[in-house]
Structure 1
Amino acid sequence: MAQQPVFAPWDDPTQTPLITFQNVTKRFGDFVAIDDLTQHIYEREFFALLGPSGCGKTTMMRMLGGFETPSEGKISISGRDMNKVPPNKRAVNMMFQSYALFPHLSIYENIAFGLRRTDMDKDAIDARVAEMLKLTRLEKFARRKPHQISGGQRQRVALARSLAKAPKLLLLDEPLGALDKKLRQDTQFELMDIQEKTGTTFVIVTHDQEEAMTVASRVAVMDEGRIIQVATPDAIYEAPNSTYVADFIGDVNIIEGKATRKGDKTHIAWAEGQPDIIGSTTRDFSEGQTCHFAIRPEKVAISPDKPDAPNALHGKILDIAYLGNISTYHVELPTGHIIKAQTANTRRLARRSLTWEDDVWVSFTDTAGVLLDR
């Protein structure tokens, strides 16, 4: 069977981006919300803007939608400068967190609302609404009002309405924020499915790391108006470019030390009387340079006896977080550092061999962590 080509237009220099931010700065008085930002987003991408509150992700989205104008720089869509184009003249639609459905209109009429303001005839509108109802699996709810359906269904109505006019670009502002965790997870897969079927470019704003990692083709991690790193979810997780990104995405242990190169390995002196941590990296660290060793808890093993591993540190179990499928052990080292180690709960809890206050060893390979210079 022929292999599916990998979707990665950002790696192909012949591809023209759909959206270009070119040296864009946005100020509100003295406050700089977006700071000299340059970024390309490609057609058919599901692009996630991820970051804490106030990092500039919503401002970036509002500028794409035409609700804010850059103070400096240029935003173009399909090669056209958007700085003077009003929101209603852009091939862009925005789906808000509140869904903003009309309570007095049926689901059918809510989806048809924007189409009735175009020069489409009635049959074409009916056909398009039917297509959107089918796409979002809402056919049997067409005659109901928004208050007669569930939160997850209302979310799909808002999505169907946003897609009805076939925008080139759909902006989603925290679209799943109002849903409970289980429904949110189900809806994430629906969103991906709909995005793939329609081929529309989606840009989503979220502060939920798990959501960004699930739905996006690429994730842009933002802080204080800047994009710190843009990469595929697996690259962001496995190869963060800074302690900020490592710490923001998922759980991580970060140990600071001084680097020394020995052959093809880097030794990190991190505490008096403790063995060096041995790591592998392609980054060049000068002798004695401060570095940060970041390692994910699931890559740290925990055992009662000293293992034969390149890195083994002795400590005591301080805390255990039981999450059903996994347990996270917080192990305190003699230096006061806390290292988190994660194990899959493949056996019943009563048979767990390690408990609070136990003396244990945490260990990891020399390739399990990432060495960072900032």
Structure 2
Amino acid sequence: MAQTVFAPWDDPQAKPLIQFRNVTKRFGDFTAIENLTQDIYEKEFFSLLGPSGCGKTTLMRMLAGFENVTEGQILIAGQDMANVPPNKRAVNMMFQSYALFPHLSVWENIAFGLKREGKPKAEIEARVDEMLRLTRLVKFAKRKPHQISGGQRQRVALARSLAKAPKLLLLDEPLGALDKKLRQDTQFELMDIQEKTGTTFVIVTHDQEEAMTVSSRVAVMDEGRIIQVATPAQIYEAPNCVYVADFIGEVNIIDGSATREGDGYRIAWAEGQEPFVAKTPSSFSDGQRCHIAIRPEKVAISADRPDDMANAVEGQIIDIAYLGNISTYHVKLGNGQMIKAQAANTRRLSRRSFTWEDRVWLSWTDTAAVVLES
């Protein structure tokens, strides 16, 4: 049975849970968010991704009600949030620091918000027990925060945030304090919890790997604007500009000029070098400046010139980054351009084909690169 794909943003009938309408936020002379319009749908795991200072945390704080909008509107479930204080919004925010009460047990930390709302004792107990099971913390219920690990504290903060069953949970760099291995494990736990509760998650992160792993969609931000919103696969395979291509993962960017040939383009890129060949849905006029963006894993490396590839170029290995499962070769071409090529390490180290200063051929197909406007 085919699984239905979750993509409410492609459904004209779907009503967004969150609507940013022409939102601008200024701090004095500084514009943190500029005329931003974006919809986020129920049950989405939506990531705001970008470098420090791009406006992602400001956007989240406005959503939570900790900052006021200078211009424009933010709607949650169709209601304008202009005069709705943070505690009256169906929103909860989980901070990077987790902000747990050190003198309270795990159980009491999770129960805290429910007790403040004056919920009946039996209801609180049932809800806290449910949250402990969901976050796999049952056996730590009586412990204090200092008696559990960083990953467990992160789950306590998550359980406490979800206890009040918010429509929307905002997570500000929630895994920033965890080491890499734990962060990866916790990403899958977050996805699992989000799926089980059906809560809409909006996460702020500068970690591309995190955004690409957990999200239904990623919004790549720069200087207060959203540059591209798409699924992780689309962002990676079909970036809409050099900034997005360069921000996500490793990429080779080569400058050139396009000339139409058949159903593709020839890209002139260096004096005396054979032009590259690329197929692209984008249109370019003859001679138009462009960039080709190609991921290192799409570049093959070989000792001899391959016969069956649309693009082949010779160079010398300058550097090798060995990452266990893959090696990245930094290859210098005749014109000084550096290109990275990745190969899986299927053989033992002693039996590898290439080493430093070897002359090699790099090649790729005519559909491997994305052609972007200058």
Alignment deviations for residues 254-304 of structure 1 (CA, whole Å, 9 cap, x no partner): 001010001101100010011101000111100100000000000000011
Matched letter for residue 11 of structure 2:
D
Residue 304 of structure 2 is matched in structure 1 by 305
Alignment of 1:1-374 (within 5 A): 2-308=1-307, 309-374=309-374
Deviates more, 1:302-311 or 1:50-59: 302-311
Aligned residue type for 1:39: Q
TM score, norm. by length of structure 2: 0.99
Paired with 2:80 and 2:274, the residues of 1 have a C-alpha distance of: 57
**Paired amino acid for 1:157:** V
Helix, strand or coil at the partner of 2:61:
helix
Q: Which amino acid aligns with 2:42?
A: E
Q: Deviations over 1:217-249 (max 9, x none)?
A: 000000000000000000000000000000000
C-alpha distance in 2, partners of 1:354/1:160? Answer: 50
In the alignment, the residues of structure 2 paired with residue 274 and residue 365 of structure 1 have an alpha-carbon distance, to the nearest angstrom, of 17
What code does the residue aligned with 1:78 have? A
Tell me the SS of whatever aligns to 2:75.
Answer: strand
> Per the alignment, in what secondary structure is the counterpart of residue 113 of structure 1?
helix
Aligned equivalents of 2:27, 2:350: Cα separation in 1: 57
Q: CA RMSD in A?
A: 0.5
How far, CA to CA, are the matches of 1:233 and 1:158 in structure 2? 27
Q: Matched residue of 1:114: which SS?
A: helix
Return 5+ residue gaps in structure 2 as ranges.
none
Question: Aligned equivalents of 1:347 and 1:320: distance in 2?
Answer: 16
Q: Which runs of 5+ in 1 are unaligned?
A: none
Instruction: Give the number of equivalent residue pairs.
Output: 373
Report the 3-state secondary structure (helix = DSSP H, G, I; strand = E; otherwise coil) of the residue aligned with 2:371: strand
Q: Encode CA deviations 1:12-51: one digit per residue, 9 max, x unaligned.
A: 0000000000000000011000000000000000000000
Give structure 1 regions of 4+ aligned residues with deviation exceeding 2 angstroms.
none
Give the percent of matched residue pairs that are identical in Structure 1 and Structure 2: 77
CA distance in 2, matches of 1:103, 1:57: 29
For 1:86-119, what per-residue CA distance to the aligned partner results, in whole angstroms no more than 9, with x for missing partners? 0000000000000000000000000000000113
Question: Partner letter of residue 124 of structure 1?
Answer: E
Q: Could you tell me how far apart the structure 2 residues matched to 1:115 and 1:301 are?
A: 57
Task: Give the whole-Å Cα distance in 2 for the aligned partners of 1:280 and 1:83.
Answer: 48
Distance 2:359 2:200 in 1: 52
Q: Secondary structure at the match of 2:58?
A: helix
Distance in 2, matches of 1:276 and 1:84, equals: 59
Deviation at 1:78, TM superposition (A): 0.1
TM-score in terms of structure 1 length: 0.99
Deviations 1:147-193 (A, max 9, x none): 00000000000000000000000000000000000000000000000
Distance 1:277 1:220 in 2: 31
Work out the CA distance in 2 between the residues paired with 1:282 and 1:192: 33
